[in-house]
Amino acid sequence: MRLILGFLSGVTFGIGLVVSGMSDPAKVLNFLDVFGAWDPSLAFVMGGATLTAFVGYRLAWRQPEPVLTDSFDMPDTRKIDRPLLTGAALFGIGWGIGGFCPGPAWTALPLLSPAILVFLPMMLVGLWLGAQLKSMPVVKGA
């Protein structure tokens, strides 16, 4: 049941991305172009998503436990450190250059545009490289 609900949630999210136009990299790039052809519609999509998530989390946390698992999966730390800031900067740079973030990249795949056929495999390579770097032991004083 959990797998089916996860699939349905993903499909709903993907449909929302396509309907809102967020699978079009030009829309994202125009949002980032504040001194040119600025398009504020992405802010409304993000605002709607933030509001929906805020209400949904408040309702979920009122429950003693999740419906389909034993406990809520929460982050272990709230620390803002160098890896978090570095990862956020790299994510933002990639988003700004390509006009895609991971969700819209997958929803744009059926379009088979040259941009998505380059971006998506490179995103997967980046995810793999990031995991490799994160798993490397840290050498202090080097």
- Global pTM value: 0.63
pLDDT of residue 139: 65
Question: Is pLDDT of 142 > 70?
Answer: no
Domain layout of the chain by residue ranges: 1-135
What's the rounded Cα separation, in Å, for the pair 25 and 95?
Answer: 9
- The pLDDT of 112-127, averaged and rounded, is 89
What's the rounded Cα separation, in Å, for the pair 126 and 97?
Answer: 14
- The pLDDT of 121-137, averaged and rounded, is 88
- The pLDDT of 40-59, averaged and rounded, is 91
Question: Is pLDDT of 67 > 60?
Answer: yes
Confidence of residue 50 (pLDDT cuts 50, 70, 90): very high
